[in-house]
Amino acid sequence: MRKLTALAFAIMVGLGLSVSTASADSARGQKLYLKFMKTPTGLNGAQFAAQHTIAEWRELCANEGAGFITEYSAKHPDAADFLGGAQFKRFQSDICDFVIHYAKDSGNVPAC
């Protein structure tokens, strides 16, 4: 019985850790957008996120943000270094969560 309890506890802890590290955060993504992308794009967060629908952002953010990187490196060359670098790769899920949460068809408006 004790082994079963220990196993169940280990499984719960493992699932808890995997879920918490895999989840993205739109508020954090908004802060990261403001820090790294607002100046190079010349757009505030609301203007940037409203460029696409939820479905379009999901498509751009698929495959580790490959479409996002391609489109916005071409549109905003000043942002290309960030988008092609390790920092974007590290923050991509949060930034994508931000733009999806505030997409033009989401009904949400960011305060930035």
pLDDT (tens digit per residue) in 78-105: 999 999 999 999 999 999 999 999 999 9
The predicted pLDDT at position 24 comes to 77
Cα–Cα distance between 39 and 108 in angstroms, integer? 22
Q: Report, as an integer, the average pLDDT of 49-67.
A: 97
Q: Which residue in 104, 70, 97 sits closest to 84, CA to CA? A: 70
Cα–Cα distance between 28 and 91 in angstroms, integer? 9
Q: Which residue in 41, 43, 45 sits closest to 29, CA to CA? A: 45
The pair of structure tokens assigned to 48 is 């940037």
Residue pair 108/50 in contact (Cβ under 8 Å)? The answer is no
- Above 90 in pLDDT, residue 8? no
pLDDT top residue among 24 and 106: 106
Model pTM score: 0.76
Residue 49 vs residues 7, 20, 54, 55: alpha-carbon distances, Å? 44, 25, 9, 12
